[in-house]
Amino acid sequence: MTADVAAARQIAEAVTDPELPMLTLADLGILRDVTCENGHIVVTITPTYSGCPALREIACDLQHRLTLAGFAGSTVRTQIAPAWTSDWITPDGRRKLHAAGIAPPNPAAAGAPPPRGPVPLNLIMAPRDPVACPQCGSLDTAATAAFGATACKALLRCGTCHEPFEYVKEFWWPARGPRRGPSFIRSPCSGWTR
Amino acid sequence: MTDDEFTAYHDLADETGDHRWAFGTGFTDPLEGIDTSVPDGVNAAALAAYCLMLGDDALIYSHRLQQWMTRLPELEEETAIANIALDLLGQARMLLARAGRAEGAVLAESTGRSEDQLAFFRLEKDFRNVRLAEHADADFAQLAGRLLIFSTWRLALLGRLHDSRDPVLAAIAAKGAKELAYHRDYAAQWVIRLGDGTELSRTRMQAALDTLWPLVDELFRADTVAGDLPGVAADPAGLRAEFDDVLGTVLAAATLDHPGAAPMAEVAGKCGRDGVHTEALGYVLAELQSVARAHPDAAW
């Protein structure tokens, strides 16, 4: 059955995300496992956000494609721990996002504040680190909305080429370290900044 | 639909093997495939009650946020509130499903009630959400203020459940905490923008917080359910310091006065967690449950 699992994995990896159709499940990092149980394929996926409506679509797609490829009776399972982080998007996935005009997420793990950390008291919703414009590469970009058309994206605008673009938000690892209190300074020109 | 239309629909569905009627539908148990057995030594009845409380908070508040759709001042706020409501609905689905499974363990059945049975077929007195969740926002300042209070409190709460002895609850909390961090930032920024804005916006933001403040103390009230779940649940009173710290910082930045309104009265020592609610919950449930109750056999 080993060969079967490898073939099924190949099919599962190639299924695309309905909301980010340029990415496969493998690119997005939400395919957790492909195994064989009692002669049937079991695919395990994890949601990006708790309420992600695409998860069900993905499960249906997976089943449909596996059935077409001859893997009848396969099942799709959900796994919620460990929680997905945007760091699981592969280098290939990041390249594809960029090519589609969507800025890939900044690293979430390195130097990330835990969710219970400081409240960023700036008046403009801004990613923690500069995001490069996917059109011209400029780092002179600003967020216009922290929540975009899907749960995983924010809206930004480039100050150099003036193009608006989408940004896949960095999504943190769960906080486990010591809790940090809120901290901020006031900058006279740009409102509140950390 | 006419019979012909039905046939066309079924033909299409049969052809593709896909019986969903719209994107995002065809709901299955959100905990499908996850080991939901209750760990040894954990009180399953209390675990079910606890998950129901946290699930009801998210479900009812999510619905109140959904009611803002098409009424927000800007498109960016529409997408933000829609996303926040969706995150909370996702949390609610998993928590209600967790409550149902734990309930099943108590009844020695394979499963207890489903998420739909819990969301759509319970009466007001059986809902366990805090009264803050059911409040109807009178204006955008109340939306921002209530979201700040709710998300700060819930983030502190879920942050303490990362190491819960129930691995399912721990996983749901770890996922939700990341989402709430975004919600809290969004709310904090609006509270500061309005509080430190014009004289009118400051007045209205202050009035909103003064209106909401009586609902705050209830969030930290001791409850017997959490007391029955050592190592599983978080002590509500233990969340107060973090909440006060964050609120104090944001209110100072927003040049707002710390509200001093007295807590809303309990009814014979009972409030939201005991199923004793304000009038507002009935209106939420009337809307939330009407379709499911009119078509109890429907599938979504």
Average pLDDT, chain B: 91
Q: Nearest CB to B76: which of A77, A144, A174? A: A144
Give the three-class secondary structure for B118. Answer: helix
pLDDT band at B8; cut points 50, 70, 90: low
Q: Is the pLDDT of residue A181 over 70?
A: no
Contact state of A75 with B159 under an 8 Å Cβ cutoff:
no
CA-closest candidate to residue B58, choices B32, B34, B94: B94
Distance CA B182, CA A119 (A): 10
Fold of B43-294: Ferritin (1.20.1260)
User: What residue of B is the nearest CA neighbor of A173?
Assistant: B178
Q: Nearest CB to B94: which of A50, A116, A176? A: A50
Tell me how many domains chain A contains: 2
Q: Nearest CB to B246: which of A59, A80, A182? A: A182
Q: Nearest CB to B79: which of A63, A145, A171? A: A145
What's the pLDDT at A110?
46
Q: Nearest CB to A192: which of B171, B181, B253? A: B253
Q: Is the pLDDT of residue A182 over 70?
A: no
Q: Is the pLDDT of residue A186 over 50?
A: no
The 10 Å Cβ neighbour count of residue A146 is 25
DSSP classification of residue B257 = P
pTM score above 0.90: no
What's the pLDDT at B274?
96
- The 10s digit of each residue's pLDDT in A25-53 is 999 999 999 999 988 999 999 988 888 88
User: What residue of B is the nearest CA neighbor of A45?
Assistant: B33
A106 and A72 in one domain?
no
What's the pLDDT at A122?
55
B80 near A CB under 8 A: yes
Question: In this structure, is residue A85 part of a structural domain?
Answer: no
CA-closest candidate to residue A41, choices A15, A77, A14: A77
A144 and A108 in one domain?
yes
DSSP B158-196: HHTTTT-SSHHHHHHHHHHHHHHHHHHHHHHHHHHHHHT
Q: Tokens 């008046």 correspond to what residue?
A: A123
The 10 Å Cβ neighbour count of residue A33 is 13
CATH of the domain at A64: 3.30.300.130
Q: Is the pLDDT of residue B72 over 60?
A: yes
What's the pLDDT at A109?
60
For range B88-99, the mean pLDDT? 96
Tokens of A167: 């940004």
CA-closest candidate to residue B236, choices B162, B156, B165: B156
Question: In this structure, is residue A87 part of a structural domain?
Answer: no
Distance CA B25, CA A75 (A): 18
pLDDT greater at residue B213 or residue B18: B213
Distance CA B30, CA B26 (A): 11
For range B8-17, the mean pLDDT? 58
A72 near B CB under 8 A: no
Give B34's contacts in chain A (Cβ within 8 Å): 77-80
Contact state of A56 with B79 under an 8 Å Cβ cutoff:
no
Interface test with chain B among A19, A55, A60, A116, by most B beta carbons within 10 Å = A116
Q: Nearest CB to A119: which of B23, B171, B188? A: B188
Give A51's contacts in chain B (Cβ within 8 Å): 86-91, 93
Q: Is the pLDDT of residue B186 over 80?
A: yes
- The 10s digit of each residue's pLDDT in B82-93 is 999 999 999 999
What's the pLDDT at A112?
46
Q: Is the pLDDT of residue A175 over 70?
A: no
User: What residue of A is the nearest CA neighbor of B154?
Assistant: A116
B28 near A CB under 8 A: yes
A109 and A67 in one domain?
no
User: What residue of B is the nearest CA neighbor of A127?
Assistant: B182
Q: Is the pLDDT of residue A22 over 90?
A: yes
How would you classify the pairing of strands A40-45 and A75-78?
parallel
A117 and A73 in one domain?
no
What's the pLDDT at A10?
95
Number of A/B CB contacts below 8 angstroms equals: 159
A125 and A166 in one domain?
yes
Contact state of B159 with A151 under an 8 Å Cβ cutoff:
no
- The 10s digit of each residue's pLDDT in A129-154 is 788 999 999 999 988 888 888 878 88
A176 near B CB under 8 A: yes
Residue B200: which region, alpha, beta or left (left: phi > 0; alpha: psi -120 to 50)? Answer: alpha
Q: Nearest CB to A175: which of B86, B159, B176? A: B159
- The 10s digit of each residue's pLDDT in B139-177 is 999 999 999 999 999 999 999 998 999 999 999 999 999
Q: Nearest CB to A151: which of B30, B87, B186? A: B87
The two most distant CA atoms of chain B are separated, in Å, by 64
What's the pLDDT at A189?
28
Parse chain B into domains and list their residue ranges.
43-294
What's the pLDDT at B109?
66
Distance CA B177, CA A64 (A): 33
Amino acid at A8: A
Query: What values do phi and psi take at B251, rounded to 5?
Result: -65, -40
Residues 216-245 of B with CB under 8 A from A: 242, 245
- The 10s digit of each residue's pLDDT in A61-83 is 999 999 999 998 899 988 888 88
Distance CA A138, CA A118 (A): 28
Burial class from Cβ neighbours inside 10 Å (0-12, 13-18, 19+) for residue B110 reads: exposed
- Looking at the complex, report in whole angstroms how far the Cα of residue A29 sits from the nearest Cα belonging to chain B: 16
A108 and A58 in one domain?
no
Distance CA B291, CA B116 (A): 12
Distance CA B209, CA B188 (A): 13
A121 and A186 in one domain?
yes
Contact state of B159 with A49 under an 8 Å Cβ cutoff:
no
For range B264-286, the mean pLDDT? 95
What's the pLDDT at A188?
29
**Sheet with A40-45, edge to edge strand ranges:** A31-37, A40-45, A75-78
Say what percent of chain B tops pLDDT 90.
79
A111 and A73 in one domain?
no
pLDDT band at A169; cut points 50, 70, 90: confident
For range B245-263, the mean pLDDT? 94
What's the pLDDT at A171?
73
What's the pLDDT at A107?
79
Q: Is the pLDDT of residue A119 over 70?
A: no
Residues 242-261 of B with CB under 8 A from A: 242, 245-246, 249-250, 253
Residues 6+ apart with CB under 8 A from B92: B55, B56, B58, B59, B62, B119
Q: Which residues span the domain enclosing A9? A: 2-78
Question: In this structure, is residue A97 part of a structural domain?
Answer: no
Contact state of B181 with A116 under an 8 Å Cβ cutoff:
yes
Contact state of B28 with A181 under an 8 Å Cβ cutoff:
no
